[in-house]
Amino acid sequence: MDARIDRVARSVSRFVAGDDGRPGTADDRKVYIRPGTADDRKVYIRPGHEMNGDWYRWSATSRQSPADYVDAYRHIHGRFDAAGLTSRNAVQYIWSPMACGNQGLCSSGGNPADYYPGGDVVDWVGVDAYNWGNTRSRSTWESPETILRRSLDQVADIAPGKPLSIPETGTPSDAGGDKNQWFNDLYGFTSYYRHGSDGRGVKMMNYFNVAKNEGNRWIDWTAVRSSDDHRFPAFASMMRRGNVLGGDTARHVSTAAFRGR
């Protein structure tokens, strides 16, 4: 397993290194949302996401515990460090458990806080959160605030001072609600959310723009299918907002923004 981790680490190291071939120096690549070039890259790494559920091999089961997950996360981090990826200006690590609607973070594998590998190996914290609508027998249409607020509060409490993110979120089409309005609500909530104790807001969000089979049902999560797809004007409007990177104009992500500052 270490050999596989090391191969990935070396590949990432080559990816971020600039002309001098060494990561962590002044010519490291930076990132553009679009279009970008080979000289404009940095990397976020998210080892073992959604570990607090029961659907991945790294989730807690009768054969492994949250402590096993923490050991594995820290081991991977160490192997990447050994490959030269020690500059936090080149690589940022994200810890992101799964949200289970308005109940907060999923707890099928025990206390989500037990999975936190430590502030010395985590740069960002976040939550993956989905509105499943009526696509499941026991699910209903839920607003962005319903699926996100409590879980964001929880990860903020678990990891004081870390920037907050939403690495994955999505809402289905034809599932009992207004998808276009959901995007309006998503922008509104993520723009104005603040953690109660320290005022941290959401610094990064990624939308799950995929249509895929989920169990025994095909679900269309997509907001955009092509560059000229305007099925959801609210999503297009959100992408044109001044505090959103992407949309029609390529804008440089500064080192400070990359690190959530």
Distance CA 136, CA 215 (A): 10
DSSP state string for the chain: -HHHHHHHHHHHHHHH--TTS-TTSTT----BSSS--TTS--EEE-TTTTTTSSSSTTS-BTTB-HHHHHHHHHHHHHHHHHTT---TTTEEEEE--BB-GGG-B--TTS-GGGG---TTS-SEEEEEEE--TTSSTT-----HHHHHHHHHHHHHHHSTTPPEEEEEEE--SSSSS-HHHHHHHHHHHHHH---TTT---EEEEEE---EEEETTEEEE--S-SSTT--S-HHHHHHHTSTT-SBTTB--B--HHHHTT-
Active site amino acids:
50, 168
Please report how the helices 179-192 and 144-158 are oriented relative to each other, as an axis angle in degrees rounded to 10.
Answer: 30
